């Protein structure tokens, strides 16, 4: 299995929580996820899907490493060249 890593901060600039940039934080309620991480995972999975890859069949999300990278595992020997995806 090949592993790809994508830096969260190079993919999204979204706040980690509601009110992070405005200083007007509100209680998190039931969902206390890091919004920046969630958005980065969604963007990566969507992009890989547009390339014809199927989540669960061709790749899976394996978590976040200590350097702030989304870790993707490619299941069918897909080239790690996909790590060179450019985000704008």
pLDDT band at residue 4 using 50, 70 and 90 as cut-offs: confident
How many other C-beta atoms are found inside a 10 Å radius of the C-beta of residue 49?
13
pTM: 0.68
Pick the range with the lowest mean pLDDT from 27-31, 39-43, 71-75: 27-31
Task: Check pLDDT > 60 for residue 64.
Answer: yes
Task: Check pLDDT > 60 for residue 81.
Answer: no
Higher pLDDT, 87 or 13: 13
* HSE-up (13 A, CA, CB side) for residue 88: 0
């Amino acid at each position: 299995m090949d592993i790809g890593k994508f830096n969260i901060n190079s993919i999204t600039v979204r706040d980690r929580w509601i009110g992070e940039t405005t200083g007007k934080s509100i209680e998190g309620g039931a969902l206390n996820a890091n919004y920046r991480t969630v958005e980065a995972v969604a963007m990566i999975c969507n992009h890989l899907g547009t390339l014809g890859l199927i989540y669960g069949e061709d790749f899976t999300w394996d978590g976040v490493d200590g350097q702030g990278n989304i870790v993707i595992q490619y299941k069918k020997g897909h080239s790690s060249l996909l790590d060179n995806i450019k985000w704008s």
